[in-house]
Amino acid sequence: MGYTKEEKAMIWLDSFLLDYAKKAAVLKMFRDPYAAVSRFFEKEREIGAVVGEEMLEKMRASLYDAAYLQGVLSAYERAGIACVTCFSEDYPEALRAADEPPFILYCKGNLALLHERKFAIVGSRRTPPQAAKRAERIAQGLSRAFVIVTGHADGGDTAAIAGALESGRIICVLAFGFSHLSSAENGKLLERVAERGLLVTEYAPAQSARKYTFPARNRIIAGLAEGVLVVSGGEKSGTRITARYAYDFGRDVFAFPYAIGDPMGAGCNQLIKDYAKLTEDLVDITSVFGINLTEKESETLSSAEQQVYDCFGGAPLHISEIAAKTGKKEHELSPVLIMLAMKKKLVSCGGNRWAKT
């Protein structure tokens, strides 16, 4: 992959794992990034004041070493990592408008996805099964018009990945560099995303996940997308940070409603109170964007299945309640319930309770 000299200068600067603020400060001293290399020695003292003596020594040494940058670039290429810098045509325009746009997006996968319309679906690790299933279905439906952007955690993010992975229209934004991919909690799944969709991170490969990299990552999710759907989140969930960024960047925010006092959804309800649109189904999102995506009716139900399915309202039902409503025995119900789960109409919530997706 050919990089311009400005881009190469950016990649060089990024390879030292500096904080965003320090990188910004260094770049501010020069007209363009290349000047940071060509006129490095003129401004050594100022740079040293920003990055510290030790780091300055490292940077200086790397400039004396002709093979340094080549080594970095070929290592990236071997690992299949493409660097999309803010000088690249591939750099998403929407992200430029965001706060502190990342200087480089390290990408693995299908770069073409960056040019498409994007919509974010995020959720906390503790997402109730029925919300996860619904998020999965919405992700699947929306992926026909949008590329789905999400994070990489269990729960809501995983549900969004599960929905969109088949179509390949999925971007996962990571809170760490690619070297830490295999040891991540969802490493296997993320590798499949890299194969079919796209993985994006602003961190150089060696950067590991830190407490602060997650909220910083969330600004990229919000920045990339035209809208954000929050599927779950408690009072202090990171999903609220994503939603806040999205709101600040002028994106539409959507959220699933939750029952009063449900700790898994208190954050969602708060968002709805503040600025998010209450969202129950795909159409609540598509209507805002003026597009029409009809969910294809997946499968027909037998009369027994229909009878069971009709028992359900919003809340999960225990198998004994279904038995009472249909007048059937519990063990006659379990085949029907499993069939409905296979048809993705119902989902098991644990403890022999079931809910509509």
Partner 1 sequence: MLSKVTSFALVGLDGVPVTAETDINNGIPAYELVGLPDAAVKESRERVRSALKNSGRKFPLQKITVNLAPADIKKEGSAFDLAIAVGILKATGQLKADCEGIVFLGELALDGALRPATGILPLLISAKAAGYKTFIIPAGNAAEAAYIEGIEAIAAENLSAVMDHLSGLKPLSPVPVRAYERGVKGEYKFDMAYVKGQATAKRALEVAVAGGHNILLIGPPGTGKTMLARCIPGIMPDMTFEEALEVTKIHSVAGILGAGGIVDIRPFRSPHHTATTVSMCGGGTRTVKPGEISLAHHGVLFLDEMPEYHRSTLEALRQPLEDGVITVTRSGGAVTFPANFMLCASMNPCPCGNYGSADRVCTCTPAAIRKYRARVSGPLLDRIDIQVEVDTVKYEDLAGAALEENSAAVKKRVERAREVQRARFSGPLTNSDMGERELKKFCLLSRECEEILRMSFESLKLSARARSRIIKVARTIADMAESERICPEHILEAVSYRKYDNMS
Q: C-alpha angle with apex 297: 292 to 302, nearest 5 degrees?
A: 160
For partner 1, the closer of residues 29 and 339 by Cβ is 339
DSSP 230-259: E----TT-THHHHHHHHHHTT-EEEE----
Q: What is the DSSP letter of 325?
A: H
| Shortest reach from residue 67's CB to partner 1, in Å | 41
For partner 1, the closer of residues 63 and 341 by Cβ is 341
Widest distance between CA atoms in the chain? 85
For partner 1, the closer of residues 26 and 159 by Cβ is 159
What is the rounded CA–CA span in Å between residue 147 and residue 114?
9
| Shortest reach from residue 261's CB to partner 1, in Å | 10
| Shortest reach from residue 344's CB to partner 1, in Å | 7
| Shortest reach from residue 319's CB to partner 1, in Å | 6
| Shortest reach from residue 275's CB to partner 1, in Å | 27
| Type of residue numbered 108 | K
On whether the CB atoms of residues 29 and 45 are closer than 8 A, the answer is no
Contacts of 258 (CB under 8 A, 6+ apart): 232, 264, 265, 266, 268, 269
For partner 1, the binding residues (CB under 8 A) are: 125-126, 154-155, 158, 185, 263-264, 316, 318-320, 323, 329-332, 334-339, 341-344, 348-353
| Shortest reach from residue 133's CB to partner 1, in Å | 11
On whether the CB atoms of residues 6 and 13 are closer than 8 A, the answer is no
| Shortest reach from residue 352's CB to partner 1, in Å | 5
What is the rounded CA–CA span in Å between residue 105 and residue 76?
13
For partner 1, the closer of residues 277 and 344 by Cβ is 344
For partner 1, the closer of residues 84 and 164 by Cβ is 164
DSSP 282-298: HHHHHHHHT---PPP--
For partner 1, the closer of residues 134 and 219 by Cβ is 134
Element (H, E) at 337: helix 330-342
For partner 1, the closer of residues 4 and 320 by Cβ is 320
